[in-house]
Structure 1
Amino acid sequence: MRTTLDLPENLLIEAMKATHIKTKTKVIIAALEELIRKNQIAGLKKFKGKVDLDIDMNQLRDRECRS
């Protein structure tokens, strides 16, 4: 999809240097993908400690329990 954007040139240049990406289009795509990834991780963090999976790690790892 072709879109015209008015972006600060200094931010694009800084992002390109930081990521070693050579084109403006690719650096914008990388930034959008990272934004989505971080948002998905934040959504998963809401469930921390709230999901009981009832998993016995020793059984999964095929270990003998030491008493």
Structure 2
Amino acid sequence: MSVTTIDLDDDVLEKAMRVAGGGTKKDVVNAALREYAERHERAALVAKHFHAAQQWDYEGWLQRRVEDKHGGA
């Protein structure tokens, strides 16, 4: 872990510590950074799947499914 000195908004930090249920400032900041990174990773995955879904062809999928169920006939 690296050591970094930053200025934090005391009111926001206090609020975050209350919401987190205690812990140290370090714990709260690390949890917030993890949550921030995970949220953006999830948003990127949603965007990726949304983009892929734009290419879906329901009728084509349904026809392939019917063919698969009937042995490719």
Both structures adopt the same fold (TM-score exceeding 0.5): yes
The runs of at least 4 aligned residues of structure 1 exceeding 4 Å deviation read none
* Residues 24-43 of structure 1 mapped to structure 2, 5 A cutoff: 24-43=25-44
RMSD across aligned positions (CA) = 2.0
Larger Cα Rg: Structure 1 or Structure 2?
2
For residues 17-52 of structure 1, give each alpha carbon's deviation from its aligned partner in whole angstroms, at most 9, with x where no partner exists.
Answer: 001132000000000000011001100111137267
* Residues 1-67 of structure 1 mapped to structure 2, 5 A cutoff: 1-46=2-47, 47-48=49-50, 50=52
* More helix by percentage: 2
Instruction: Note the residue ranges of structure 2 that are not aligned, 5 or more in a row.
Output: 66-73
TM-score (norm 1): 0.69
Letter in 2 for 1:25: K
Calculate percent identity across the aligned residue pairs.
30
Tell me the distance in 2 between the aligned counterparts of 1:49 and 1:39: 16
TM-score (norm 2): 0.64
